[in-house]
Amino acid sequence: MNILVIGAGGREHAIIKKLKENKSIENLYCAPGNGGISKDATCVNIGACDIEKMVDFCKNNKIDFAVVAPDDPLVAGMVDALEDIGVQCFGPNKNAAILEGSKVFSKDLMKKYNIPTAKYEVFYNAEEAIKYIEKENTYPTVIKADGLALGKGVIIAENFEDAKEAVNSIMNDKMFGESGNQIVIEEFLTGPEVSVLSFCDSHTIVPMVSAMDHKRALDGDKGLNTGGMGTVAPNPHYTEAVAKECMEKIFIPTMEAMNKEGRPFKGVIFFGLMITPNGPKVIEYNCRFGDPETQVVLPLLKTDLFEIFKAVRNENLKDIDIEFEKDEYAVCVVEASGGYPSSYPKGIAIEGLDENGNSEKAIVYHAGTIFEDGTFKTNGGRVLGLTQKGKTLQEAIDKAYNATTSIKFENMHYRKDIGQRALNAK
């Protein structure tokens, strides 16, 4: 089998390392990949959203199966284009990826099918949105651009002035481009957040082990929002009772709602949940694996990942048992470039890795590296994800942080408190 993974970050590296456990895979390609990924797969210099070039590459290299990992190629229809030329794909079609691609679509879907979420209104022009905020006069209020915005499309405004500025910059100044043609204004919810990734073949939905992200740049959940500075799995807030309620009120209803809308979903549905005093509610849907959730979820997966991917593609997920390690924890600490998520330098040499970009100290997922002149160098905001497993959460935390002392680079920034919120939850 010839397999292609599309994407370039830590999530894609985690998928590739897991796929490598399957011996039926002869050639593993990644487009575009990164320095670390190039040691585990053959990297191909094609942008993740370049549908035309990807189609040509698949034809010329007899690709049998493609895994489309990031949101933007999914929303742009990469799966449709590759399936059209006979490449089997893991990931939703364009008409199902809209679950993440449009917040207006997902909010309206939840309302129509009674799936618990924050109350909201949709606006098509700034003036009416601002009038509404003034009339409601409740803060904080949450303002969301409709489309993809590199994870930055959500603004939590503490007062009228900030809310007005957010609406104007999204709708009039188009800070997120066309993604801001429509906005959602919604109720501010409180409670712990849980990420649940699930495999869905449109008939069966199987949640993976739950995870907790740490989105802010600095310790104590301070600083700017990032793509994610670290994760732990499982998430202690996701108890068996909560899991049962989510399955009944959120997961199955979402899968069925997509079927009823004529948009059957095959791939990963990522449920961003908040466990509010009134029960679990959906904060957002993603149509893909999360980053860096994948870096703690897949190391705990015991079942062959490629078998799962094929079962989802062929709609026979019900025929396989998906198992995760029991009584085992995983922690991922992200090492970022100093300055991230604002501007940061690139090209700094990384210490502590062997010639394949690995280390005995942790599973090393490369997010933003380049391999140049025989060394790994930084090449992005989030550079590495160091994952460790343990019999207790504390053990996994200690082992992951122990790895940061030898795997390092100049001006490296990482949070010192990954997992503390989870420890305190107990």
Q: Which chain residues interact with ligand AMP by CB under 6 A? A: 118, 142, 151, 154, 186-189, 193, 215, 272, 283-284
Q: What 3-state class would DSSP assign to 362?
A: strand
Q: Write out the binding residues for ligand GLY, residues 146-165 only, by CB under 6 A.
A: 151
Least distance in Å: CB of 106 to ligand AMP?
A: 10
Please choose which of ligand AMP, ligand GLY, none residue 291 contacts, taking the beta carbon within 5 to 8 angstroms, the exact cut-off set by kind.
ligand GLY
Least distance in Å: CB of 11 to ligand GLY?
A: 7
Least distance in Å: CB of 392 to ligand AMP?
A: 26
- The pair phi, psi for residue 293, each rounded to 5°, is -60, -40
Please, which residue, 230 or 357, has the CB nearer to ligand GLY? 230
Rounded to a whole number, what is the distance in angstroms from the first to the last CA of the chain? 45
CA neighbor of 245 nearest in space, from 303, 203, 321, 194: 194
CA atoms of 345 and 380, how far apart (whole Å): 8
Least distance in Å: CB of 423 to ligand AMP?
A: 20
Q: What 3-state class would DSSP assign to 167?
A: helix
Q: Write out the binding residues for ligand GLY, residues 225-254 only, by CB under 6 A.
A: 228
Please, which residue, 63 or 67, has the CB nearer to ligand GLY? 67
Does 293 contact ligand GLY by CB under 6 A?
Answer: yes
Cβ(99)–Cβ(282) below 8 Å:
no
Please choose which of ligand AMP, ligand GLY, none residue 353 contacts, taking the beta carbon within 5 to 8 angstroms, the exact cut-off set by kind.
none
Please choose which of ligand AMP, ligand GLY, none residue 284 contacts, taking the beta carbon within 5 to 8 angstroms, the exact cut-off set by kind.
ligand AMP
Distances (CA, A) of 345 to 8, 38, 58, 337, 377: 19, 22, 34, 7, 11
Least distance in Å: CB of 314 to ligand GLY?
A: 26
Please, which residue, 78 or 194, has the CB nearer to ligand AMP? 194
Three-state SS string over 251-306 comes to HHHHHHHHHHCCCCCCEEEEEEEEEECCEEEEEEEECCCCCCCHHHHHHHECCCHH
Please choose which of ligand GLY, ligand AMP, none residue 189 contacts, taking the beta carbon within 5 to 8 angstroms, the exact cut-off set by kind.
ligand AMP
Phi-psi region of 26 (alpha: psi -120 to 50; beta: other; left: phi over 0): alpha
Does 7 contact ligand GLY by CB under 6 A?
Answer: no
Please, which residue, 236 or 264, has the CB nearer to ligand AMP? 236
Please, which residue, 186 or 261, has the CB nearer to ligand AMP? 186
DSSP state of 318: G
Least distance in Å: CB of 109 to ligand AMP?
A: 15
Q: How many other C-beta atoms are found inside a 10 Å radius of the C-beta of residue 174?
A: 13
Phi-psi region of 99 (alpha: psi -120 to 50; beta: other; left: phi over 0): alpha
Least distance in Å: CB of 286 to ligand GLY?
A: 5
Residue 274, token pair as written in the block: 């908040």
Please, which residue, 12 or 213, has the CB nearer to ligand GLY? 213
List contacts with ligand GLY (CB under 6 A).
151, 213, 228, 286, 290-291, 293
